[in-house]
A and B are shown apart, each in its own frame.
Chain A
């Protein structure tokens, strides 16, 4: 609290002096220099006015601001802005390029997948047709074989039947002879007469039919 009161006492005269006529401006440099060496003793020696409102500082402030800010502006305009702008642009291009490349690679990968699947489908279809033909030819072969065997068996059967027929008719013929001889013998035994052979044969024949 005593700090502010002490300051207030000093500030009052200083504020009063800030309204001093502008003619004082030219005297200010020497005065201010004296103020610089005695700054520790207080502001009543330091040019008289509140420093930011002291017009004697204005020319120097303006000149040095113009020099420093002007050079700073030129430096930024000529060097920094193109450089950072360039960095950002290069990065932007690079990212766009990388994204393009990624998209292209994805397309390639998709195409490869599609080709693979198509090939797979083709292979599957091929396998099916191959299996089908194999199955068909095997079936056809089996059929031919079967027919051949069947034909062979049929031939054999026909032959066997023919043989059986022959044997049967031969046997039947034998049966007539036996019947005639038997009949002849029976008649001879019963009647004691000899019957001629054609009569017996005719009788047998008549009975068998």
Chain B
């Protein structure tokens, strides 16, 4: 059953912990969350430790990721949005590194679990709602009433806006989760074809070339997806934060 494509998403307990009837065990998923945080943090910390005026290659990578996210946030939410920069930067780096680590064979992909992506999405939307009400009070509700809409259409538009707002955490989390899940299942299925076909003898070995090529191509595609999904997650976060900062459309 080594070919089972779902097996890679299985959670196994490394250190069982149970508090108040809930299972808080340290699992392989927890280990990879720690690994994600440590790898991303250590990369950013070590590459910038020389504080070179003229950056080396790795320092440029760290600075590029910083400026990439900073520009993204500034474009979407203006300079006022820069107060959320550490939040967006850590979201982007965490998701990106989690996606990339998951691409190593036998490694667990943290972002392939809906609960993880949903928690991150709720964190974003929760930040938007709390900051929006703190900053604008009930004026934040203007978000749901676009200006310049004829009076008769207002109830309909408000309904649509509310539904669209409520679906944001779902779309944000499902997009990332489904991309990671589907990509890894596809990879595993093609890799499974290769091993199964080679077991059939010479004809099978010849036939396995096609799925092998596909597996290689999909691996490349998955690297793109890993970056792209982290980027999309960060961009949408910036846009939602912009709603919290400037609720009037």
Q: Distance (Å) between the CB of A18 and the closest chain B CB?
A: 12
In the complex the two chains form, what is the Cα distance from A58 to B117 in whole Å?
A: 12
In the complex the two chains form, what is the Cα distance from A56 to B29 in whole Å?
A: 13
In the complex the two chains form, what is the Cα distance from A124 to B44 in whole Å?
A: 66
B-contacting 9-mer, from A67-75, A129-137, A197-205 = A67-75
Q: Which residues of A contact B89 (CB under 8 A)?
A: 76, 80-81
**A145 within 8 Å of B (CB atoms):** no
Closest B residue by C-beta to A64: B30
Query: Knowing A63-B24, A68-B37 touch, does A52 contact B48 (C-beta < 8 A)?
Result: no
Query: Knowing A46-B10, A50-B6, A71-B37 touch, does A84 contact B66 (C-beta < 8 A)?
Result: yes
Chain A interface, DSSP helix/strand/loop, else mixed: helix
CB distance A81 to B86 under 8 Å? yes
**B62 within 8 Å of A (CB atoms):** yes
A-contacting 9-mer, from B11-19, B134-142, B146-154, B160-168 = B11-19
**B181 within 8 Å of A (CB atoms):** yes
**B75 within 8 Å of A (CB atoms):** no
CB distance B40 to A41 under 8 Å? no
Q: Considering only CB atoms and an 8 Å cut-off, how many residues of chain A contact the other chain?
A: 59
Chain B interface, DSSP helix/strand/loop, else mixed: helix
Query: Knowing A62-B119, A91-B53 touch, does A41 contact B1 (C-beta < 8 A)?
Result: yes
Query: Knowing A73-B90, A83-B51, A86-B51 touch, does A57 contact B115 (C-beta < 8 A)?
Result: yes
In the complex the two chains form, what is the Cα distance from A159 to B181 in whole Å?
A: 138
CB distance A39 to B12 under 8 Å? yes
Q: Which residues of B contact A7 (CB under 8 A)?
A: 3-6
Q: Which residues of A contact B85 (CB under 8 A)?
A: 81
Per-residue 0/1 for B174-192: is the Cβ within 8 Å of any A Cβ (1 yes, 0 no)?
Answer: 0001000100000001001
Q: Which residues of A contact B26 (CB under 8 A)?
A: 60, 64
**B248 within 8 Å of A (CB atoms):** no
Closest A residue by C-beta to B93: A76
B-contacting 9-mer, from A29-37, A104-112, A172-180, A187-195 = A29-37
Q: Which residues of B contact A148 (CB under 8 A)?
A: none
Interface residues of A (CB under 8 A from B): 2-4, 6-7, 10-11, 14, 26, 28-29, 32-33, 35-36, 39-43, 46-47, 50-54, 56-69, 71-73, 75-77, 79-81, 83-88, 90-91, 94
Interface residues of B (CB under 8 A from A): 1-7, 9-13, 16-18, 21-27, 29-30, 33-34, 36-37, 40-41, 44-45, 48, 51-53, 55, 59, 62-63, 66-67, 85-87, 89-90, 93-94, 110, 112-116, 119-120, 177, 181, 189, 192-193, 196
Identify 11 new A-B residue pairs, CB closer than 8 A, beyond the known A51-B10, A60-B24, A87-B51. Answer: A7-B3, A10-B1, A39-B12, A43-B6, A65-B119, A68-B30, A69-B33, A69-B37, A76-B90, A80-B44, A80-B48
14 contacts across the A-B interface (CB closer than 8 A): A32-B13, A33-B13, A36-B12, A46-B10, A52-B9, A52-B114, A59-B24, A60-B11, A60-B26, A61-B11, A68-B33, A73-B90, A76-B93, A87-B48
